[in-house]
A and B are shown apart, each in its own frame.
Chain A
Amino acid sequence: MIDFPAFYDALGIMATSAGSWGWIVPGLIVGLVFSAVPGVSITMAMAIVLPMSLYMDFFSAIVFLTSVYTGAGFGGSVPAILMNIPGSPSSYATTFDGYAMSKKGQHNEALGYALFASTICGILGYVLLLFVVEPLAGIVLKIGPVEMFAVAIWGMLLLGSLGSKYVTRGLLAAAFGVLLGTVGMNTAGFIRGTMGLPVLLDGISPIPAMIGLLAAGQLLTLAGKDYILDAEEARSVSVKKILAGCWGTMKYPGVLIRGSIIGIIIGAVPGVGSSVGNLIAYAETKRTSKDSASFGKGNPKGVIAAESAVASAEGGSMATMLALGIPGGGATAILLAAFMMHNIVPGPSFIETQKPMVYAIILNNIVQAIVLLVVGIGFIYVASNVVKVRTRYILPAILVIATLGTYAVDGSPSGPITLFIFSLIGFALVRYEYPVAAVVVGILLGRMLETEFLRSYQLSAGNPLYILQRPGAMAIVGIMLLSLAMTAWGKRKQAKQEAEEEAAMQALHREELATAGKH
């Protein structure tokens, strides 16, 4: 299951790159602080600090960024529990029972449950990844250009179809992203869409485009808001009670494991991510629980289920990213960009030739989850103050850092200009409900898609029936069609359910108004 020589080499990498250890705590703090600020998501936090990792060596850069990822996973749950404001979309389900516990005066315990569930399930996700890397490497080695192209198309279609309420808008976003990713010179030497600008010959610079789409564009939408005004007063924090909550988490191993499995699977599928994983884990735990009626009224199992899925999704999405080089969403897209910045392309060849590095990344993430336990408790003390900072102070600071970060990529004004153009596109995408992550991943994968397609075309000499000689590719296409059909069916069902719920809520609202009118 584990390639022990590579594993020992990984321990060697970790021991010799002592500098990288120093990036764990700053990374966790950045992730915790950013995601505790309502409106700043995990992806935004990672996008903003991405240029800083440019000047680190490869391992340190990945340690820093994955620490931000780990910290941000828990950070959002602090305002979710204390103030009913999910710091990031992935903490949405945590508010259901976390805030209810808070109202009962059990906020310390709730924070303990959330923190320990995050730690344990973060470790679980990566331990599982540690075991699957070896068999995964064997499988991905058999992947040729046809299979790679099929997988990338599948990922893009899933990202497009799942990332938005409207399948058509999602697919348009994905296709638009892919086209943007092909701008410049392709592997056959043709130059397209550069408008005569030499800076576009290598294509659209992905980092400024990503920061614009994922961070700046969405930060603009905060201009009219002052969330923090409505926040409640900070509550007193007790380490003793938090630790009691941590200990209490161990009473629910079933919830932890179920949440983790859901998180890992959902995290590994491109396009879904932890923001959906926490809702599914919560709903599934509620459905199978004997005391399902107490969910939403302060049941610790609700907090544990939601947080376990968020934490373990990281391991799942890393598996897809490392093995296939296909990011499952915004956060792993940023990690992919960080790999590319260091001239390393994740995927089948990386996992086979750089196995010690893969193990070192996984082991370091396990360490991060353990460090989170300590840093997280310290963070809870300051978190209630972080969310009180007003947007008028946060916005200028973050936008300036983001803009200068894009300048730091190559020291030319094209970075900030790309950021500006893509922040406008990102703003419009969010405004009209198009999935931004689909465009981002399209930009990152566009070139790879074209190269693999060209190779497949050359290998098959233009004969589409060549796919019949590739059972792997046929299986992927089969799964792709099946999953698309299931997505369409699921969406229809979801829309129907939502409509029914809305009708029920409206009826209830009217009833309440009528009762109030009588009184």
Chain B
Amino acid sequence: MRFRGNEYRVDGGHVLFVSLIAAAIIWYLFDARGVSTSINNLLLIQPVAIFALAMVVLIIPQLFVRADKVVEEKEEEYDPLAPKLPTDRVQVIKMLTLGAALGVFVFALNVIGFDIAIFLFAAATMLVCGERRPLHIIAFSAAVAVVAIYGFRALMPYPMFTAIL
């Protein structure tokens, strides 16, 4: 996209994030208004929600990034003598995979047992972070599971559903 002689591109991830925040705020405002339009209910929520939406509007221009600026930065970073760093894409995939693993982990705790879930999550995290030696993965994940289960059992009064430990 061209504007005033400069090439701009849209930061898709940022657009999605701001849209989700805006949608959540609008939903919350309507939900609160649906409960009651009494001042005692909306005194703080309504003005803060409108203020937040105004901020969203002001953020919209920031969603467009100068395309030539990105190229410049990339050129500056490039150094053939330096060891090759993982590209952004690889890093982002690793982060997202770890995020997904965390999601599966929290929902699996009460389904497959805390011990198995911790073991699998620790192993998955090690894999995502680049560990490839099976013995290291199994030994360290098992150690994390044992220490975490017995440590937290000693610490808190709530029961933990476990399959083995």
Q: Which residues of A contact B (CB under 8 A)?
A: 52, 54-55, 166, 168-169, 171-172, 175-176, 178-179, 182-183, 186, 188, 190-193, 216, 220-221, 223-226, 390-393, 395-397, 399-401, 403-404, 407-408, 410-411, 413, 416-417, 419-420, 423-424, 427-428, 431-432, 449-450, 453-454, 457, 462, 509
Contact = CB atoms under 8 A, between A and B. Distances in A.
B102 A399 contact: yes
B29 to A, nearest CB: 9
B98 A404 contact: no
B32 A193 contact: yes
Contact of B45 (A54, A182, A390): A182
B59 A169 contact: yes
Given A172-B52, A172-B55, A431-B17, 15 more contacts: A55-B155, A166-B62, A169-B55, A182-B45, A220-B102, A223-B125, A226-B129, A392-B125, A392-B131, A393-B126, A396-B125, A399-B102, A411-B159, A423-B102, A432-B17
Which residue, B45, B62, B121, has most C-beta atoms of chain A within 10 A? B45
Which residue, A171, A216, A392, has most C-beta atoms of chain B within 10 A? A392
Contact of A408 (B31, B35, B52, B156): B156
A179 B158 CA distance: 31
26 contacts: A55-B157, A166-B59, A168-B59, A169-B59, A172-B52, A172-B59, A178-B44, A179-B25, A179-B49, A186-B41, A190-B40, A192-B32, A193-B32, A223-B129, A224-B92, A224-B95, A225-B91, A395-B98, A399-B121, A400-B122, A411-B159, A413-B110, A419-B106, A424-B99, A457-B43, A509-B76
B81 to A, nearest CB: 12
Contacts of A54: 156
Interface string B6-37: 00000001100100010011001001100110
B130 A226 contact: yes
Interface of B: 13-14, 17, 21, 24-25, 28, 31-32, 35-36, 38-41, 43-45, 48-49, 51-52, 55-56, 58-59, 62, 76, 86, 90-92, 94-95, 97-99, 102-103, 105-107, 109-110, 114, 118, 121-123, 125-126, 128-131, 140-141, 144-145, 148, 152, 155-160
Nearest to B20: A428
Contacts of A393: 126, 140
Contact of A396 (B17, B76, B121, B156): B121
Contacts of B28: 179, 183, 192-193
Given A172-B21, A220-B102, A188 B40 contact: yes
Contacts of B94: 223-224
A197 to B, nearest CB: 13
A168 B58 contact: yes
B62 A397 contact: no
Given A186-B41, A396-B126, A224 B156 contact: no
A127 B129 CA distance: 45
Nearest to B111: A413
Contacts of A175: 48-49, 51-52, 55
Chain A to chain B: the 10 pairs with minimum beta-carbon distance, closest first: A411-B158, A224-B91, A392-B129, A175-B52, A396-B122, A172-B55, A416-B106, A188-B40, A396-B125, A190-B41
Contacts of B41: 186, 188, 190, 192
A453 B41 CA distance: 11
Which residue, B36, B41, B102, B110, has most C-beta atoms of chain A within 10 A? B102
Contacts of A186: 40-41
A432 B21 CA distance: 13
Given A216-B102, A395-B129, A432 B14 contact: yes
B144 A400 contact: yes
B103 A420 contact: yes
A408 B51 CA distance: 36
B17 A179 contact: no
A284 B156 CA distance: 48
Contacts of B122: 396-397, 400
Contacts of B25: 176, 179
A460 B62 CA distance: 40
A399 B99 contact: no
B48 A178 contact: yes
A223 B91 contact: yes
A14 B131 CA distance: 48
Contact of B39 (A183, A400, A403, A457): A457
Nearest to B107: A417
Contacts of B45: 179, 182, 192, 450
A427 B160 CA distance: 28
B110 A404 contact: no
Which residue, A220, A224, A225, has most C-beta atoms of chain B within 10 A? A224
Contacts of A55: 155-157
Which residue, B17, B21, B99, B125, has most C-beta atoms of chain A within 10 A? B125
Contacts of B110: 413
B78 to A, nearest CB: 12
Which residue, A182, A190, A400, has most C-beta atoms of chain B within 10 A? A400
Contacts of A454: 40, 43-44
A397 B59 contact: no
A432 B62 CA distance: 11
A395 B127 CA distance: 11
Contacts of B32: 190, 192-193
B126 A392 contact: yes
Contacts of B145: 400
B87 to A, nearest CB: 10
Contacts of B109: 403, 407, 413, 416
Contact of A431 (B13, B21, B55): B13
A190 B103 CA distance: 32
Which residue, A176, A449, A509, has most C-beta atoms of chain B within 10 A? A176
Contacts of B35: 190-192
Contacts of A193: 28, 31-32
Which residue, A186, A216, A403, has most C-beta atoms of chain B within 10 A? A403
